Amino acid sequence: MQYTHIFGIDIAKKTIDVALCQNKANDPIITHKFTNNTKGYQTLLAWIKKHGAQIDQLLICLENTGIYHRNLVKFLQKHQAFVWVENAATIKWSGGLQRGKTDKKDAQRICLYAFRNQDKARTFSAKDEELEQIADLKTQREGLIQARVSLEAPIKEKREAGLEKEASMLEEVSKRTLASIEEDIKGIEAKIKTIIEEQEPLLITYQIIRSVPGVGFVTAVNLLVYTNNFKQFNNAKQLASYAGVAPFEYSSGSSIRGKTKVHSMANKTLKTSLHMCALSSIRNNATMKEYYQRKVKQGKNKMCVINAIRNKLLITVFACVRDGKVYEYNHVYKQVA
Write out the residue range of the structural domain in which residue 286 sits: 221-336
Count of beta carbons in the 10 Å neighbourhood of residue 149: 10
CB 148 within 8 A of CB 43: no
Whether residues 62 and 111 fall in one domain: yes
Whether residues 26 and 111 fall in one domain: yes
How remote is the C-alpha of 8 from its chain's centroid?
A: 21
pTM reported for the whole predicted model: 0.76
Domain termination residue (choose one: 198, 230, 248): 198
Cα distance between residue 98 and residue 3, in whole Å: 27
What's the domain count of the chain? 3
Whether residues 156 and 64 fall in one domain: no
Cα distance between residue 196 and residue 16, in whole Å: 32
Strands 256-261 and 248-252: antiparallel
Q: Is there a domain that residue 324 lies in?
A: yes
- Return the percent helix, strand and coil in the chain, to nearest 5: 60, 15, 25
Whether residues 116 and 132 fall in one domain: no
- Bridge-partner residues for 256, per DSSP? 252
Whether residues 92 and 143 fall in one domain: no
In terms of Cα–Cα distance, which of 235, 328, 317 is closest to 273? 317
Domain termination residue (choose one: 67, 99, 120): 120
- Domain containing residue 59: CATH number: 3.30.420.40
CB 250 within 8 A of CB 238: no
Max Cα-Cα span within the chain: 74
Q: What pLDDT score was predicted for residue 250?
A: 42
Whether residues 27 and 102 fall in one domain: yes
Whether residues 158 and 237 fall in one domain: no
Note the pLDDT tens digit of each residue in 240-296: 999 999 874 444 445 444 455 444 567 899 999 999 999 999 998 888 899 999 999
Q: Spell out the residues 6+ positions from residue 315 whose beta carbon is closer than 8 angstroms to its own.
A: 236, 240, 336
Q: Is there a domain that residue 71 lies in?
A: yes
Q: What value does the mean pLDDT of the chain take?
A: 88
Q: Is there a domain that residue 229 lies in?
A: yes
Whether residues 331 and 226 fall in one domain: yes
Q: Amino acid identity of 232? A: Q
Domain termination residue (choose one: 91, 120, 149): 120
